[in-house]
Amino acid sequence: MRNIKLTLAYDGTNYHGFQVQRGTGLKTIQGTLEKALSILTKEETPVIGSGRTDAGVHARGQVVNFFSNSRIPVERFPLAINSLLPSSIVVREAEEVPADFHARFSAKRKTYCYTLYNDRVMDPFWRYYAYHVPVELDGAEMSKACVLFRGKHDFRGFCASDTTVKDFVRTIYACSLAKEDKLWRFTVTGDGFLYNMVRIIGGTLLEVGQGKHPAEEITALLKKRERKAAGITLPSQGLCLLSVDYAEEYPEKVN
């Protein structure tokens, strides 16, 4: 059997997240992709995702892999699968990978972006892809706060309170803020993320930008390790999984 790796982009607006929810009838990215693959390969084709994205969350670089006996040339997979998928899901790339490649466990880093639309009136064309913030933001303070999230920290206070993992330590390699006209984009790269972690970091940065916390308080919030001390959980529509990196090498110095 061949191990095939796919890179996907999708608009998550009308899906109940990435992960299939067997027996519920709910539409998911994974379920839709598996159905298309089973038609194409004429075999049951469960896929392994690099991670879950929640309902309403988007992706430009989600990665999955699956095993198949199909002899379809790998370079033909994107065009063939896309003909069977709705327009909200696109396979961007396909490649054959070693048998031990695992979309989730082989991943070294992920990069997410959260988009804010900062204007008194919301642009309706951004309503599914950004969170509306009608008040002025202090970008300089938000950028200072970004720096303090970089490095290895216990993010117990920056994940959903019902998170059941045992290890809350994660390394953030890059964390930055950029403004383009009325859009503010917060981008973060890490070795892994806890449930709702990016949305809570984003919510905390937003509160810094609104003057509710000084940037310097981020260090103290990390040390508190209390969910109620951090900022709000931003809604899902502004979040996008940009890429998943499988390369071993990465600069030791965070930036």
Q: What is the dihedral of CA 159, 165, 168, 171, to 10 degrees?
A: -90
Active-site annotation holds for 191: no
**C-alpha dist (Å) from residue 67 to 13, 45, 95, 103, 105:** 28, 7, 12, 12, 16
Separate counts of helices (H) and strands (E) for the chain: 5, 10
Q: For residue 80, which of 154, 158, 1, 6 has the smallest C-alpha distance?
A: 6
Q: How many CB atoms lie within 10 A of CB 98?
A: 8
DSSP reduced 3-state for 176: strand
Which one from 11, 54, 138, 245 is the annotated catalytic residue?
A: 54
Q: Which residues are catalytic?
A: 54
